[in-house]
Chain A
């Protein structure tokens, strides 16, 4: 039997990007922070463009610790949801419209979130990548780190534990 031809690259990219956009747009707080996500294959990078309302210390000025924590937490939540949805997006048994309607996709709930502040957040764009260290049926543990101008100079890192949604 002949192997089926691989899908055209535009079709694959369009489907993945639409699914990611639908997931991100379904969460209002991500829009409030102005956070976007870049995708390379299944790898995500979160971007928080600088804006005045993220400032916590107007004198320096520096990013608010709460804004940095929120950025890390949304990065972790999206990474975890994205990793969970990946198989379905690829099959594809789930469409971006279904993700958008919110009916099928459940967001993991944060159990705890612990942030280390390593450097002052400058008035610049910030980037973050999360890594799911363990994802079981009920619980997941996610590590996430954020940087600005230099990837080697981490401004904050966090570990969070999440309660996984019941399978739909």
Chain B
């Protein structure tokens, strides 16, 4: 069962215009964890030769997913914002496949939340990209 807080987080995240523009869908939201989907779209192509989507779209998916993981953390109150985020692109995302992102807020202090995330396509064994970042935590 989704908690009241997580229902609010989901509603908030689903109302974000840029996430809507990218067609980002909520898959699951837990306690400091989040999962999201982004379907393949020709408009997101970054390399016309191969049809691989641009790193920027993957970055936006991972940033959204990390933000949702922070908001869903039991100790987080209020909104959040990204302080920094680093994405490592391990391999090109396979064209036509849906990307899945999973983020975990693994530590939270009074001012900072630490998050890591992974983006996968249909191949579960080899990540497309990983992310690590720091986010602002709301003052209680």
Taken together as a complex, chains A and B put the C-alpha atoms of A111 and B88 apart, in Å, by 6
Q: What are the interface flags for A48-73 relative to B under an 8 Å C-beta threshold, 1 for contact and 0 otherwise?
A: 00001111111100111111011101
- Annotate A81-113 by CB proximity to B: 1 below 8 A, 0 otherwise: 000000000000000000000110011011111
Q: B60 contacts A67, CB within 8 Å?
A: yes
The docked-state distance in angstroms from the alpha carbon of A23 to that of B111 is 43
Contacts of B92 in A (CB 8 A): 109
A69 and B18 within 8 A (CB): no
In the complex, what distance in Å separates the CA atom of A117 from the CA atom of B85? Answer: 8
Given contacts A27-B54, A29-B53, contact A115 B86 (CB under 8 A): yes
Q: Which parts of B121-139 form the interface with A (CB within 8 Å)? A: none
Residues of B within 8 A of A77 (CB): 46
CB of B17 within 8 A of CB of A58, answer yes
CB neighbors of A among B43-58 (8 A): 43-49, 53-57
Interface of A is mostly: mixed
A69 touches B48 (CB 8 A): no
Whether A57 lies near B56 (C-beta < 8 A) is: no
Residues of A within 8 A of B57 (CB): 29, 70
When distances are taken between beta carbons in the complex, the residues of chain B under 8 Å from A66 are 18, 22, 56, 59-64
- In the assembled complex, the Cα of A111 lies from the Cα of B18 at a distance in Å of 24
Nearest CB in chain B: distance from A92 CB, A:
21
Partner pick for A29 among B54, B79, B82, CB 8 A cutoff = B54
Q: How far is the CB of B127 from chain A (nearest CB, A)?
A: 13
Within 8 Å of chain A (Cβ to Cβ): is B89? yes
- Supposing A29-B43, A29-B44, A116-B84 touch, asked if A111 and B89 sit within 8 A by C-beta, the answer is yes
How close is B66's CB to chain A, nearest CB, in angstroms? 9
The answer for the CA separation of A75 and B55 in the assembled complex, in Å, is 12
Check if A113 sits within 8 Å of B86, measured CB to CB. Answer: yes
Q: Shortest Cβ distance from A28 into chain B, in angstroms?
A: 4
Contact A110 B60 (CB under 8 A): no
Which residue on chain A has the smallest CB distance to residue B62?
A66
Question: Is residue B42 contacting chain A, with contact meaning CB distance below 8 A?
Answer: yes
A114 touching B59, Cβ below 8 Å? no
Tell me if A114 and B86 are in contact (CB < 8 A).
yes
CB nearest neighbor in A for B84: A116
Task: Please tell me if the beta carbons of A73 and B56 are within 8 angstroms of each other in the complex.
Answer: yes
A53 adjacent to B20 (CB under 8 Å) = yes
| Neighbouring B residues of A56 by C-beta, 8 Å | 16-19
Given the contacts A29-B45, A29-B46, A69 and B81 also touching, CB distance less than 8 Å: no
B133 nearest CB across to chain A (Å) = 9
CB distance from B116 to the nearest CB of A (A): 14
Q: How far does the Cβ of B65 sit from chain A's closest Cβ, in whole Å?
A: 10
| Chain B residues within CB distance 8 Å of chain A | 15-22, 42-49, 53-57, 59-64, 67, 79, 81-89, 92
A-B CB proximity, top 10 nearest: A66-B60, A70-B56, A64-B18, A29-B54, A53-B21, A114-B86, A66-B63, A65-B82, A110-B55, A55-B17
